[in-house]
Amino acid sequence: MTQPTGPAVQEFATGFLRTAIHPHGPGYLWIRRPGDDRPVPLSAPGAPVRAALTALRPAGLRLALPEAVGDALHYQVPGPVPVAKLCVGRDPGLPPGPVAGALSGTGAALRLLHTGVPASLALSGPPGPARLAFWIREGGGPRAAQAFHTIVRRQLGTTRWDLVQEWCHALATDLSGGVFLHGAPSLGSVVVGDAPDGGCLLSGEDVARGPADFDLGWLLGEFVEWRMTLRRRTPGLDLDPDDFHTALDALGRGYGEPADPVAAGRAAVLRVFTHAHDFAAYMGWHPELLEYTVKIAELIDDEGAQALF
């Protein structure tokens, strides 16, 4: 059983997820625990999925799989900094070469997951859209979830609102033609190492089955949000547009063109919408959520085409 050998060097938490990062051997131990308001527990992959993922050898990146320890998941990773830190400012722990290598490797790894693991090992659709669909139906939740529901429903209107529910419903129920998915690839789950091929992608928590380009689109949704932050020009945020373009280009090199741009675009829409919900529910109200309601409407109208390479 892997345990931390020193105090945490970083800790961050929401009502959904708590993370502590400890030095561990030559690298770090990332410990994820459920937040106080998380509706479902964290889960490690079962033995068949673990065996299939361990057998994969993606180029330029390692898939880091968790060990379940009580209600927590422990990941052994090469570094303390995820690529997501670049979305809020420059970081000396994220040099361009290793960042580009980690994103290129992530793209290649997502492509390999879809072809290298039997789809039958995943029994449900991706969890993010399912969480979004439940909130769209029920409207409640902690902190600002209910208030944001009222605001975004008014902004989107009935047609867009119903369309998003249809997309979520299809991902949850139409599994027949799907492939094995990472389920929720995130810039917060791409950890950079010391070399361009030294990074890893936290994997195994959210494995799912669905359209082959869902994973790519879900990650591209986070680039939409990164671009929104760049354009916002918030005082005090030291953001470099070159970091954005380097990362996006590297992801594209690793993954290649999506086979189904519509599936990828819709996934990007759902990622941005789900993140807005998660922020309202698990962190609380922020004025930028009003900006998100406008952007989500734009994304629905073009089915996420603006998010694609």
Q: What is the pLDDT of residues 83-120, one digit of tens each?
A: 999 999 999 999 999 999 999 999 999 999 999 999 99
- 201: closest CA among 187, 216, 214, 215? 187
pLDDT class for 201, splitting at 50, 70, 90? Answer: very high
**pLDDT value, residue 2:** 80
Average pLDDT, integer, range 122-136: 98
CA dihedral 254, 19, 81, 195 (to 10 degrees): -60
Residue the block writes with tokens 């209107």? 157
**pLDDT value, residue 5:** 79
pLDDT class for 4, splitting at 50, 70, 90? Answer: confident
Average pLDDT, integer, range 42-52: 97
**pLDDT value, residue 278:** 98
Cα–Cα distance measured from residue 285 to residue 148, given in angstroms and rounded to the nearest whole number: 8
pLDDT greater than 80 at residue 167:
yes
pLDDT greater than 80 at residue 161:
yes
- 103: closest CA among 183, 30, 192, 204? 192
Average pLDDT, integer, range 283-297: 98
pTM score: 0.97
CA distances from 227 to 151, 294, 307 (A): 23, 15, 10
Percentage of the chain with pLDDT > 70?
100
Tell me the pLDDT of the chain averaged across its residues: 96
Average pLDDT, integer, range 15-36: 97
DSSP conformation letters of the chain: ----SS--SEEEE-SSEEEEEEEETTEEEEEEEE-TT-SS---PPPHHHHHHHHH---TT-EEEPPEEETTEEEEEES-S-BGGGGGSS--TT--HHHHHHHHHHHHHHHHHHHHHS-GGG--S--HHHHHHHHHHHH---STTHHHHHHHHHHHHHHHHHHHHHHHHHHHHH--TT-EEE-S---GGGEE--SSTT--EEE-SSS-EEE-TTHHHHHHHHHHHHHHHHHHHT-TT----HHHHHHHHHHHHHHH-S-S-HHHHHHHHHHHHHHHHHHHHHHT---THHHHHHHHHHHHHHTTTGGG--
Cα–Cα distance measured from residue 168 to residue 165, given in angstroms and rounded to the nearest whole number: 5
pLDDT greater than 90 at residue 3:
no
Residue the block writes with tokens 């990074």? 199
CA distances from 218 to 81, 164, 237, 265, 291 (A): 21, 15, 25, 8, 20
Segment 176-186, tens digit of pLDDT: 999 999 999 99
Average pLDDT, integer, range 155-182: 97
Segment 216-232, tens digit of pLDDT: 999 999 999 999 999 99
Average pLDDT, integer, range 118-132: 97
**pLDDT value, residue 267:** 98
pLDDT greater than 80 at residue 1:
no
